[in-house]
Amino acid sequence: MSAPAAALLPYEPAQFEGLPPDLPVHVWDGAAPPPPQEILDTVGFFTVPYLGTAAALPLLPRMPALRVVQTLTAGVDDVLPYLPAGAVLCNARGVHDASTAELALALILASLRDIPGFVRGQDAEQWRSGFYPALADRTVLVVGYGSIGTAIEDRLTPFECRVRRVARTARQTPRGPVHPLSALPDLLPEADVVVLVVPQTEQSRGLVGTEFLSRMRDGALLVNVGRGPVVDTAALLAELESGRLRAALDVTDPEPLPPGHPLWHAPGVLISPHVGGSSSAFLPRALRLVSAQLRRYAAGELPDHQVHHRPEQGV
């Protein structure tokens, strides 16, 4: 593919390594007013500012030369409907693996060992001793075994637990089999912890509903670091309020979770405010990804991590 004239990036060019010297670069961070139309007319490569998708979407139809849309998120469900004809959409595969996997592990350990209870005990000056569940000897089912799911298993391995893997497509890995989604009914009753790393699609919306949850064993922990609408909130609340299941949620439906929502105070739930990818590990990995993509782009090569290509109209 031939390289259009310019790239529109959310960070200053000096922050990137090895940018092609003859590639014009403009900067827009998503917070400032959008660039003028004469600049948008020249943009062929656009990196959507992280946490700036809402401001960026109206600009996409105003970029007639646009050929590559690079997100800084793993999920692209909010961008896909706005992708112009002739453009390729690429996600940030690899950028959030470390951050999200760390948080998934933190949520698992905090929930099993009741760290929130210790914090409440400290606030109340209560010494809450006793025995608490360990991660060791547990079975963890990772649903959505892509690059983030793999990174989660990397961090689970030293904890002496068993890991089972599920993805849309069955395959073999050096660590063992990845089972298809159709295997969930048999795998769920074996799992002490179920970790969701599923992207939001029409197929995944409501995947974790009454039937899914009913197959989880009593006392099991559901951890969601994927997308909120993958879980049926009403069905999850019913299980939490009965005391049969527990949950640790970095994402919710609705999101942000509004004041007064019953999830805030449901028994056995730990909530973090969608911060799986928001850590100090984000920026260096984002810069490396975009730098590599720009080098490929300027060389006339197809970018990596394509998740969708919208053909030219009439093609």
User: Which listed residue (244, 274, 288, 308) is catalytic?
Assistant: 274
Distance CA 290, CA 236 (A): 38
Q: Residues 127-139, buried b or exposed e (16+ Cβ, 10 A)?
A: eeeeeebebeebb
User: Which listed residue (255, 261, 288, 295) is catalytic?
Assistant: 255
User: Which listed residue (96, 227, 285, 305) is catalytic?
Assistant: 227
Distance CA 87, CA 277 (A): 26
Distance CA 129, CA 74 (A): 40
Distance CA 54, CA 87 (A): 19
Distance CA 311, CA 315 (A): 6
Is 274 an active-site residue? yes
Is 261 an active-site residue? no
Is 309 an active-site residue? no
Closest C-alpha among 311, 249, 275 to residue 116: 249
Q: How far apart are the first and last CA of the chain?
A: 16
Closest C-alpha among 151, 169, 138, 162 to residue 246: 138
Residues carrying an active site annotation: 227, 255, 274
